[in-house]
Structure 1
């Protein structure tokens, strides 16, 4: 007989444990797994969104958080001993959001320089194709 929870059965062992969940959009959530269904949809309790920039991090409280299973890239249990001894420095939410914004701006600037260099060499990777050009 087919078990409808076969693909997510291992998640049942993680109920009430503190998990780290990496989402497709790059966000990292940390919270207690309270519920899971056959689609691997998750309900996290006492959830925080953790933002890392270099060796610094900041936590944004999110409360109860529902995550669609299709958005989960990675999840795992957090070891309380290792969490206490992490080599990262906690900073305020405002400071980490500012650092994240600066990091994203720097990456965008680097991408623009790379595109400019490629364009000068005759490679315009960002050129949009017309539908007519494809046929």
Structure 2
């Protein structure tokens, strides 16, 4: 079997615990089980980790298939170093509520900025496209 350039380093990561940042902003942690020539990944015992401030919560996701084009960053996950990071684990319902409140506050701030710009006779179109991303 020939190894395709670019995926050779991923093959060395099979059966290791990885943290993966996705293009949509999610963070996944799981064991890499396989990878193909397109860098599509299969993770086992996967959790989605959500960070809010200095706290985090995990949502179990099980087996997770990820298209290679959606991976922004990938690296080996070191439990020992993570435990020294100063982050505190919290129940996922608390984290989700804090995340929701943070998103609502960002949306209110954006609306206030848009209103202030409109009052000054400015109506930037880029603000609408930024809001759609959230």
Contact 1:5 / 1:37 at 8 angstroms: preserved in 2?
no
Distance 2:59 2:17 in 1: 16
Q: Distance in 2 between matches of 1:5 and 1:121?
A: 56
SS in 1 for 2:14: coil
Partner of 2:25: 26
Equivalent residues, number: 125
- With structure 2 as the length reference, what TM-score do the two structures score? 0.88
* Alignment root-mean-square deviation, CA: 1.4
Q: How does 1:122-133 map to 2 (within 5 A)?
A: 122-126=121-125
The residue aligned with 2:86 is: 87
Which 5+ residue runs of structure 2 have no aligned equivalent? 127-134
Who is 1:133 aligned against?
Answer: none
Residue 96 of structure 1 aligns with which residue? 95
Q: Is the 8 A contact 1:46 1:62 kept in 2?
A: yes
Moved more, 114-123 or 15-24: 114-123
**TM-score, with structure 1 as normaliser:** 0.87
Residue 4 of structure 1 deviates from its aligned partner by: 5.8
Deviates more, 1:58-67 or 1:76-85: 76-85
Q: State the Cα distance separating 1:95 from its structure 2 match.
A: 0.5
In the alignment, is residue 77 of structure 1 matched against residue 73 of structure 2? no
> The residue matched to 1:15 in structure 2 has which SS?
coil
Q: Which residue of 2 aligns with 1:131?
A: none
Partner of 2:111: 112
- Counterpart-to-counterpart distance in 2, 1:119 and 1:76: 44
Q: Which residue of 2 aligns with 1:41?
A: 40
Q: Which runs of 5+ in 1 are unaligned?
A: 128-135
1:24-57 Cα deviation digits (max 9, x unpaired): 1100000011100111100001000000000010
Match of 2:131 in 1: none
| Rg larger for | 1
